[in-house]
Each structure stands twice: as structure tokens, then as C-alpha cells.
Structure 1
Amino acid sequence: MKTERMFSILIYLLQRKKVSAEELANKFEVSKRTIYRDIDSLSAIGIPIISYLGKNGGFTLIDNYQLDKFTFNEEEKKFLLEGLSLKNELFDSQQLSTLQSKLELLKENHEVEHANITISSSTLHRESIEEETKIKIKKVLSTIEQGHKISISYVSQTANISSRTIQPIKLNFMNGSWYVEAFCESREALRLFKLTRIRSMEVIHDKSRSVIVEKTDVPPNKTTELETITLLFSKSELGKLYDFFTEDEISVLNDGWINVTFTYDTNKNLLPFLLMFGRHVKILSPQWLKNKYLDEIKFIYES
């Protein structure tokens, strides 16, 4: 807390000719005595702060002082600001506003600039799910920082519900979703847990470290088994197809249909993707995938 306040005081001083101890105390909601101690600490690490005594006294920085050793160049600052404007799930709106304000204060050119990149969401989740995930992310990050464990209720991909005690290690963002990599005490191994499938989380205030195994001890994934898939799409789907396939995989036929040929890992379920296109897709090969797709359609119809 003290370090963050000192950094904030330094940024505040960079933007003003002279600041009184009373103004700083009101700004950061601490006593003037605390402000004096913070100023002494900043001076001790080489920040050139000048103190003025008397009724109109206060603190200021030596003219033209730059934080070259402590901050970023202008290009890096702009890049960071644009990155923050992507509304990354790691931050809520208040955190984003604070970080952006701090970086804006460090910019030498204070003209209003609009980010060259904007993204409403980096995942495919509904807004309410993303907000729920942000809360989980903050809780997991806090737990990692404090060294505690988490008791979770987890729903597996096959709909099995289990209670686990995990030691979170880090967060991973993969394929549009957030996962926590953690040591699972019941499995005695590292596992990945998808945050949307964690239905409840309770922090266990236990700093005893679990036996964290090396990544090489994690059971290997299934061997990738690639097979060539050939599909036929209606011409109306061309724009959507470029979201999933490369130019080399797409071929527009003379009759207006679109042929798509690609290799795919047969260990992964392709049916949800195919069902998304409804009547606008036909499976040409392999035959087993066509049969599986027809069985799925029949099951949906009869249910």
C-alpha cells in the first residue's frame, strides 16, 4: 500500500508545479505526517524533490525531471494504453480507469488520443458470464498472491460434478476461455480448470504448500490423430467460413457451393461446429463423421 501511494505521489508531483502536504494528505487520505515520511522515502531513493517551507510551502520536482529509469518511452506508454482499452477480463472498470489515468499522467504529450484498437470482448461468452469470470479471476489472483488454497465445486466436460481442493499456480487464457492451472490434491497432480465450470469457490486460509509436481509429471494428452475432413457449404456462408478456415482450405465451386478441405484432430468433437451451420453444410468425407452427424440430427429431432 505504501509503495503504491508513493508511486501515486510521484505521478501527482510530475503534473503540478508545487503541492502542499495538506493537499497530498487529502488526496491520499492519510495524515500529513505520513506524507512527510513518504516524501523522505522518495528523496532517499534519489527522486529530486524540493521542499518549500512557510505558509505557501510545499513540494515540487526539479524542472525537466524525467522518469527515464522508472517508466516507459512514449511508444511503450501508448501501446500500454491501447492494450488497456481492450477491456481485458483481468480488470474491472474501476481498475482500468485507474491504470489508464496513471499512464496518461506519464505521457509527455497530453493531447487527447483515441486508441487505435478497440475490442468489446475477447471471448465468446455472454456479458453476464464474462462479469462472473472477472470476479473469479480476481479471487484466483488474490489466492495465488497470498499462497492460499481454494475449495471448488467443478463440473467436468462429461457433466461429472466433484469437489476439489486446489493450489492455484497461474491463470491461462486459451481458445477464448480462462483456465486456472493448479495442483489438485485429490488427483495429486497439476490440472487445468476452466473458470466457467467452477461453480463455487471458497478460499482456504492454509499456506502449507502442496507438493507441486513438474509439468513433465502431468499425464500427457491424447496422441493427436489428424484426418482430412471435406465439407460442402452454401455460398451464403463464405464470410463466416473465413472465421475458421484459411484461404488454401476454401474453394468456391462453379455451382456456387463452397468446398472446404482441412485436417482435424479426431480426438476433438467437431459436431457442435457443424450443427452451427444447420442446413448450409454437407459432409462429404469421412463417412464415419457423416454417420455420426446424421445420428446427432436424428437424436435432436426425436427428442
Structure 2
Amino acid sequence: MKTERMFSILIYLLKKHLVSAEELAEKFEVSKRTIYRDMDALSAVGIPIISYLGKNGGFTLIDSFQLDKFTFSEDEKKILLEGLALKNDLFDNNHLSILQNKIELLKENKDEHFSNMTIASATLHRKSIEEETKLKIQQILAVIEQDNQMRISYVSQTSSTSSRIIQPIKLNFMNGSWYLEAFCETKKANRLFKLTRIRNIEVITDNTKITYVEDTEIPLIKTEKVEEIVLLFSKSELGKLYDFFTDDEISLQEDGHLKVTFDYDTNKNLLPFLLMFGRHVKIESPLWLKNQYVNEIKFIYES
């Protein structure tokens, strides 16, 4: 498990003055690239790692660093347990439960820890889709951990299906959905793949690795084309509106309707959102959106 390996690397660095990436990779049976990622992660949480380049280079810790700097206060242990509990809710990962139990043993107060937060349903997907996505997450994390590639069958937003060989980099949770950031061999660039649209995963375990650039810009969406949208809602919809809008965007009209004014990227399709409110929404502007909505209602009625 990555967390346990990183802790073991820290202990190893405390015992030895200077350690090469090759030695660490051989010691922990991972690639050098994985070691570099682990070092970046340790540095990101405040571990003072020094890197020396060259033939006799490697990694070391600053002389003033001691193991007691890596111990946790009771509040920090609680924060760790909360984070693990939430991640366990997302992934249903048994390894996380084991790690939670280990941290529980470090607590001075041995009472059972009850999380103040939980995640019952992380996305808007049906339960069966969420369970399918969790399985994909576990499989993808294992591929990343082993530094392997994957061949995936992917359905694009325009419904075209393609086979891609990719080098997975990391998982991203955005706008209520999971995405995989990966280097695509076909496009020779980093791309995002929505997990629900990945229909098949085949792990490639040979030694031929794709070379990718960590800082490659990912083309997520088209350049934003922002326009002001003005909608009128029935007063009964106020609770729903707070799921999507702020107080500053909602105003009560004299006739009792709720006026919502907000900026929106018109590259994105707003019609599914509007249809959710049925007869309780009216489009004031822009005119093109109103016409699109009317045409959509007519099509649904006539189909």
C-alpha cells in the first residue's frame, strides 16, 4: 500500500545518510518513477527531503530532522481518522479500515472513534453505477501502484467507441463524477477519461512504458463562452435552488416568483437542468436558450 511504503521510505531515510532512487526502487520493488512520486508526496506534507543529482546522488533528510517531528498530536490523529473514514466511504477499501485500526491504537484515548462526517452517496449516479465505479477505482489504483498501462474501451460524449492504450496518472473527482487523468498513446498527450464511460479495462504488464510529460496541459473543455442567464422559478422550488445557486443570485419578485441571474458557460448543455424543474421554470433570457427549451419540449411531446 502506498501510505505504508512511504512511511517505510521515511524510516529508511532516517537510518541511512544518502539513498539513491535505484536503491529505494529495488528495496521496495517499485519503479524509480514511483520513488520520485513518493518523494514529491513526502515533500508536499512537509518532510524536509534533500535531493542530490549526479552519479553519486540520491535522497537524504536535513540533519535537524528527527523522528519525533513525524509523530501526531491527538487532534492530528482525529483528522487522519476522519479523512480515512471519508475515503473508505468513497472506495470501500479494506486496507483503509486496517490503517484506521492502526491509528486507533496510537490514540491516548482508547474509546472507539466515531466519525462526525460520512458519505452515503458521492455522486448522482444510481447505486449500481456507483458500485461499478468503485470497482473501477480499485482496479485503476492498483494499476497506478504497479506502474502498469491499461488498454481501455472508451465511449466518448459523441457516442463513438475507441480502444486506447493509456498510462494512468491519477484519479480526479470533479462535478460529482470520477475522471482518470492518463497519458493517451493515441493522442500522445494527457487526457481525462470519465470512469462511467470506460467500458472495459485490460491491464498491460509488459516492460514497455509510455513516456509522458507530467506538466502537459490537459484539454478539459472548450474555451469558456460565458453568458448571463435569467430564469424565473416558482417559490416552491427555493430548496432545490440552493443546491445550485447562491443568495446573491436569487431574488424574490413582487409576484412571488424567484428570479435567478447567473453566468454560465454556454458550451455546456443547460437543458437537462431546466427540464428537471418542469412547469416551475421560465426562461427570461437569452432568447436562444428559450427557443432551444421550447423546441426540446415539443420534441419530447411529439416523440
**If the TM-score is normalised by the length of the shorter chain, which range does it land in?**
0.7 to 0.9
Listed one character per residue, the Cα deviations across residues 64-83 of structure 1 (whole Å, up to 9, x for unaligned) are xxx84444211111112122
2:180 touches 2:195 (CA, 8 Å); kept in 1?
yes
Matched, 1:111 2:111: yes
Instruction: Name the SS of the counterpart of 2:91 in structure 1.
Output: coil
Partner of residue 250, structure 2: 250
Separation (CA, whole Å) in 1 of partners of 2:4 and 2:191: 34
Which region of structure 1 is more displaced relative to structure 2, 70-79 or 144-153?
A: 70-79
Partner of residue 151, structure 2: 151
Separation (CA, whole Å) in 2 of partners of 1:181 and 1:238: 37
Listed one character per residue, the Cα deviations across residues 251-270 of structure 1 (whole Å, up to 9, x for unaligned) are 01122210000010111111
Which region of structure 1 is more displaced relative to structure 2, 136-145 or 113-122?
A: 113-122
Q: How many residue pairs were aligned?
A: 243
1:90 touches 1:134 (CA, 8 Å); kept in 2?
yes
Which region of structure 1 is more displaced relative to structure 2, 193-202 or 123-132?
A: 123-132
2:89 touches 2:118 (CA, 8 Å); kept in 1?
no
Separation (CA, whole Å) in 2 of partners of 1:259 and 1:218: 36
Listed one character per residue, the Cα deviations across residues 178-233 of structure 1 (whole Å, up to 9, x for unaligned) are 11111111111111001111011010112322131354454574221111100000
Separation (CA, whole Å) in 2 of partners of 1:140 and 1:93: 13
Separation (CA, whole Å) in 1 of partners of 2:221 and 2:119: 33
Which region of structure 1 is more displaced relative to structure 2, 289-298 or 218-227?
A: 218-227
Partner of residue 198, structure 1: 198
Separation (CA, whole Å) in 1 of partners of 2:175 and 2:268: 13
Change (3 A) 1:220 1:190: same
Counterparts in 2 of 1:7-156, with a 5 A limit? 68-88=68-88, 91-92=91-92, 94-156=94-156
Separation (CA, whole Å) in 1 of partners of 2:216 and 2:136: 28
Deviation (angstroms), 1:137 = 1.1
Separation (CA, whole Å) in 1 of partners of 2:155 and 2:220: 21
Listed one character per residue, the Cα deviations across residues 79-108 of structure 1 (whole Å, up to 9, x for unaligned) are 121223325465325334222211211111
Structure 1: runs of 5 or more not aligned: 8-66
Separation (CA, whole Å) in 1 of partners of 2:94 and 2:145: 21
1:122 alignment partner AA = A
Structure 2: runs of 5 or more not aligned: 8-66
RMSD after superposition: 2.4
1:143 touches 1:149 (CA, 8 Å); kept in 2?
yes
Separation (CA, whole Å) in 2 of partners of 1:137 and 1:93: 10
Separation (CA, whole Å) in 1 of partners of 2:224 and 2:134: 32
2:90 touches 2:122 (CA, 8 Å); kept in 1?
no
2:192 touches 2:218 (CA, 8 Å); kept in 1?
no
1:294 alignment partner AA = V
1:226 touches 1:264 (CA, 8 Å); kept in 2?
yes
Matched, 1:286 2:286: yes
1:129 alignment partner AA = I
Change (3 A) 1:125 1:217: closer
1:153 touches 1:199 (CA, 8 Å); kept in 2?
yes
Partner of residue 210, structure 1: 210
Separation (CA, whole Å) in 2 of partners of 1:178 and 1:220: 14
Q: Equivalent pairs: percent with the same residue?
A: 70
Instruction: Name the SS of the counterpart of 2:86 in structure 1.
Output: coil
Change (3 A) 1:68 1:90: farther
Partner of residue 50, structure 1: none
Deviation (angstroms), 1:175 = 1.1
Partner of residue 10, structure 1: none
Change (3 A) 1:113 1:143: closer
1:89 touches 1:134 (CA, 8 Å); kept in 2?
no
2:90 touches 2:119 (CA, 8 Å); kept in 1?
no
TM-score normalised to structure 2 length: 0.74
Separation (CA, whole Å) in 2 of partners of 1:276 and 1:286: 19
TM-score normalised to structure 1 length: 0.74
Partner of residue 164, structure 1: 164
